[in-house]
């Protein structure tokens, strides 16, 4: 399906690393909101919440204006406090750990599994202390974590699981939909995510009271229940019952979300088809390692295609490999610079690169290839041709 014409990044001689998949339906939906005169949170946001909840099979879905806000509110709802600890992965984006610091709590990093790049549950078990309040796994690239082990560990300790599912929509773990497994699942609808509303996010939870808390805190801690109880006239009355945040989603974003949700299954199928082409093209090469496709019963969301270089079989480092791909007109990226290498976490917690040797080593050889539903077959061929050509040039 032809997309909306993109900005300067979309050139005939250069394939962008990521683009949202917007067509005539999204354009019409946004136009309709603008013409309606109601652009902030309203009927479309409420409809997006209920349709999203139905899609994943969750009891509650609370729409917010970013995935980061979703994580923040989930941790607020469990009452995270100073000096509490949250176990998470260093192999992720900044948002995952910064939300822990919002509470002055401590992100306790544990290393990842070298195959999946997801948090290793055995290391999580070893990192538990009396101050551990939650486990925050990230389904990296859209590949579900070992949720049974994580859920069991949390249940045994009586602590919460908050999933960072920014990459994992739609996804399944052992046949069960991501969004229904743990205390909270937090999705992101950032521009490059599999469902994109520009900026946006969603919290799914089975707990009605905690959903209500998220809803309250997403909009200034304002409760309108009081007027329902005490007043007979007007709906102007409200009470501020906590110092909340300004995290509500706009109806403009929700209108995009409603269309994207209807197209989600088809868009996910396209991403999976691209992953299959890459897998077939690169699997046999000794200088490349293809990403894990997941276990039986898993559905990978393929937000990212994280190729890994076998540096001992190549004459170049990752930086040179990336720059040769870019020279061939293919936009590629690197995911992620592990958080413990960044100045803030390094200095605050005295981390060394070797503290999380798997995350560090895998980062040094990772290259993310373009994978998005707007890519044509020609685009996909262009990527495989470029990767194979660069691999041939640089093979030892
Ligand atoms: C994108 C992302 C987020 C945050 O989402 P925003 O909607 O950009 O706030 C959180 N975690 C991970 C792993 C992400 O990639």
Residue 190: the pLDDT is 98
Rounded to the nearest 5 percent, the helix, strand and coil shares of the chain are: 40, 15, 40
DSSP assigned state of 299: B
Per-position b or e across 235-247, b if 16+ CB within 10 A of its CB: eeeeeeeeebbeb
Q: How far apart are CA 151 and CA 132, in angstroms?
A: 14
Which residues neighbour 42 within 8 Å (Cβ) at sequence distance 6 or greater?
251
Q: Is position 193 annotated as part of the catalytic site?
A: yes
Q: Are 53 and 190 in contact (CB under 8 A)?
A: no
Joined tokens for residue 286: 């000794």
Is residue 78 within 6 Å of ligand 1 at its C-beta? no
Q: How far apart are CA 310 and CA 365, in angstroms?
A: 7
Q: How far apart are CA 161 and CA 352, in angstroms?
A: 27
User: Ligand 1, closest atom to CA 193?
Assistant: 1
Residue of the CA atom closest to atom 14 of ligand 1: 166
Residue 227: the pLDDT is 56
112 C-beta neighbours (distance < 10 Å), count: 25
Q: Are 394 and 321 in contact (CB under 8 A)?
A: yes
Q: How far apart are CA 341 and CA 357, in angstroms?
A: 11
Helix axes 377-394, 264-282, angle to 10 degrees: 30
229 C-beta neighbours (distance < 10 Å), count: 6
Residue 3: the pLDDT is 46
Is residue 185 within 6 Å of ligand 1 at its C-beta? no
Q: How far apart are CA 312 and CA 349, in angstroms?
A: 32
Q: Are 158 and 183 in contact (CB under 8 A)?
A: no
Beta bridge partners of 299: 172
Low-confidence ranges of the chain (pLDDT < 70): 1-11, 226-234
Mutate to test the pocket of ligand 1, among 68, 118, 141 (most ligand atoms within 8 A of CB): 68
Q: How far apart are CA 147 and CA 144, in angstroms?
A: 7
Q: How far apart are CA 301 and CA 271, in angstroms?
A: 8
Q: Are 119 and 150 in contact (CB under 8 A)?
A: yes
- 183 CA distance to ligand 1 middle (Å): 19
Joined tokens for residue 59: 């009891």
- φ and ψ at 80, to 5 degrees? -60, 145
Q: How far apart are CA 53 and CA 73, in angstroms?
A: 18
User: Ligand 1, closest atom to CA 199?
Assistant: 7
Joined tokens for residue 308: 């890994």
- CA proximity to 72, closest of 56, 49, 94, 43: 94
The angle subtended at Cα 20 by Cα 19 and Cα 23, nearest 5°, is: 120
- 70 CA distance to ligand 1 middle (Å): 10
Residue of the CA atom closest to atom 2 of ligand 1: 166
- 140 CA distance to ligand 1 middle (Å): 11
Joined tokens for residue 172: 């399944």
Write the DSSP string, 56-88: HT-SEEEEES-HHHHHHHHHHHTT--TT-EEEE
The most distant pair of C-alpha atoms in the chain lies apart, rounded to whole Å, by: 80
């Amino acid at each position: 399906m032809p997309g909306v014409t993109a900005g300067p990044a979309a050139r005939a001689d250069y394939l962008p690393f990521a683009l949202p998949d917007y067509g005539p339906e999204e354009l019409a939906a946004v136009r309709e909101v603008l013409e309606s005169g109601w652009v902030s949170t309203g009927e479309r946001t409420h409809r997006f919440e209920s349709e999203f909840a139905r899609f994943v099979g969750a009891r509650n879905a609370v729409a917010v204006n970013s995935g980061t806000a979703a994580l923040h509110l989930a941790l607020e709802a469990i009452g995270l406090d100073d000096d509490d600890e949250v176990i998470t992965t260093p192999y992720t984006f900044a948002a995952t750990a910064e939300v822990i610091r919002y509470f002055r709590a401590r992100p306790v990093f544990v290393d990842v599994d070298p195959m999946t790049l997801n948090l290793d549950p055995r290391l999580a078990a070893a990192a538990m202390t009396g101050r551990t309040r939650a486990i925050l796994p990230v389904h990296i690239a859209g590949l579900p974590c070992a949720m049974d082990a994580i859920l069991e560990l949390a249940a045994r300790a009586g602590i919460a699981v908050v999933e960072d599912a920014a990459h994992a929509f739609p996804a399944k773990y052992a046949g069960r939909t991501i969004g229904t497994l743990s205390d909270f699942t937090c999705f992101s609808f950032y521009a490059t995510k599999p469902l994109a509303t520009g900026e946006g996010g969603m919290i799914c939870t089975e707990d009605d009271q905690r959903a209500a808390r998220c809803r309250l805190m997403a909009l200034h801690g304002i409760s309108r229940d009081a007027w329902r109880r005490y007043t007979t006239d007007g709906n102007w009355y409200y009470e501020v019952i906590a110092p909340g945040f300004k995290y509500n989603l706009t109806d403009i974003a929700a209108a995009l979300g409603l269309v994207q949700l209807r197209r989600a299954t088809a868009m996910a199928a396209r991403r999976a088809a691209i992953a299959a082409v890459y897998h077939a093209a690169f699997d046999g090469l000794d200088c490349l390692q293809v990403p894990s496709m997941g276990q039986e019963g898993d559905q990978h969301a393929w937000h990212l295609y994280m190729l890994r270089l076998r540096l001992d079989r190549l004459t170049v480092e990752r930086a040179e490999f990336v720059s040769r791909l870019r020279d061939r007109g293919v936009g590629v990226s690197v995911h992620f610079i592990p958080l413990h290498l960044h100045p803030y976490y390094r200095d605050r917690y005295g981390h060394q690169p070797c503290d999380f040797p798997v995350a560090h080593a895998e980062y040094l050889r990772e290259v993310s290839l373009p994978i998005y539903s707007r890519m044509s077959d020609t685009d996909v061929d262009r990527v495989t041709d470029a990767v194979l050509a660069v691999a041939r040039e640089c093979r030892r």
